[in-house]
Structure 1
């Protein structure tokens, strides 16, 4: 190889390294400007409106004869009412959430009973999956890793009585859309896996209208929350 060929090869290598360094530096600068807490806040802005809102929810679960249909009324960040409108046997059942406390009115008992956010609603869906959907303010966030497209964050509950003790979530960088999540035990065992999809414009923002929740061990056991 002559001297000119060596010089050309060196110029090519240097240019390639410079481009790679520029891309890494640019990405690192973008990431460094956002704390994990801010990433979670922006992801919550995508997932659900910050203030009061109403939504109709359908939950379809494997092994269930018919879907569960709900009306969800949220006022601010701490109050939610959930009305069951189907199936017929559960029609009239109501749940009220105030902070981390929740009560259910059962028509055939004609009284209210205390329930938990992490208590099973139907299939793999818990009460808190429809009544307290936010993460920001409920969980502390720590960045575990990132790539060119997303951040991976570990969320740890800062309050007692929340739906999940820990979550590992993947957030898309360019849009702050949640991609998927793992619901963890205190010891870090994966209990459920969730995917967010079918994004549509709702209340001025493109939001996920389907949440697929799957048992981590029995993958055939799953629920789809449709909004």
Structure 2
């Protein structure tokens, strides 16, 4: 009798483990549409629109997204020139020109509009989240397309969002849209992703963030260019960056 009860339990556990592995494989494929190589230089432009659609602000950033969850964000607009954000795993620092010390910040700290440091510095999900497949659902942005709905929970403390409801293409697993929840499980933002070739996508060109909490502004994060680049190790050292060196 014990074996009769044990077999269904073991089968359920095996199915659950297989689903977890499948979700991680999907996330790894999804990540490649944003992080097209292990080490990248990504020129990024952020445009913020007010709730009525009128322009608010615009900023430019150079993001050096590196392997092992390391990123350096260099601010390029005149209003922020010389400022940098460094991400090393769960640790974030803001480096200000003229300051003698790097300042600890959180991944939720705003850069511009509703784009946080984590939104700009992090371009992958597979290393930070685990979850389950909810099922197949129509994609809102393309009624004829069927998406896989993934429910993701953070596995690290230094992530921007504690939970993500993510919809990806059923065939290629490209990101389509996401509901982004903070630690209190409040829906903070809704993201949609603009692909280079809707019929046969290869990379994300733009992420659009719609505020769901307060100002209801829309923030467009445009990836203007990507190129493979591994930065020197000292660029990922906050004590080196605090000297405000020229980064060429």
The match for 1:210 is 206
1:160-206 per-residue CA deviation (whole Å, 9 max, x = no partner) reads 021111100001011211000000134543221000004259xxx81
Aligned to 1:223, the other structure's residue is in SS state strand
Deviating beyond 6 angstroms after TM superposition, the runs of 4 or more aligned structure 1 residues are none
Which protein shows a greater Rg?
A: 1
Instruction: Give the conservation status (yes or no) of the 8 Å contact 1:179–1:196.
Output: yes
Aligned residues: 193
Aligned to 2:134, the other structure's residue is in SS state strand
Instruction: Give the conservation status (yes or no) of the 8 Å contact 2:49–2:57.
Output: no
Q: Find out whether 1:36 has 2:23 as its counterpart.
A: yes
Normalised to the residue count of structure 2, the TM-score between the two structures is 0.71
Instruction: Give the conservation status (yes or no) of the 8 Å contact 2:161–2:183.
Output: no
1:83 corresponds to which of 65, 71, 74: 74
Aligned to 1:46, the other structure's residue is in SS state coil
Q: Find out whether 1:124 has 2:114 as its counterpart.
A: yes
Distance between the aligned counterparts of 1:217 and 1:145, measured in 2?
A: 27
Residue 90 of structure 1 deviates from its aligned partner by: 0.8
Q: Find out whether 1:222 has 2:218 as its counterpart.
A: yes
Structure 2 unaligned blocks of 5 or more: 1-18, 139-145, 224-248
The match for 1:93 is 83
1:6-38 per-residue CA deviation (whole Å, 9 max, x = no partner) reads xxxxxxxxxxxxxxxxxxxxxxxxxx8x71121
Q: Find out whether 1:189 has 2:186 as its counterpart.
A: yes
Higher relative contact order (CA 8 A, sep 6+): 2
Structure 1 unaligned blocks of 5 or more: 1-31
Residue 212 of structure 1 deviates from its aligned partner by: 0.3
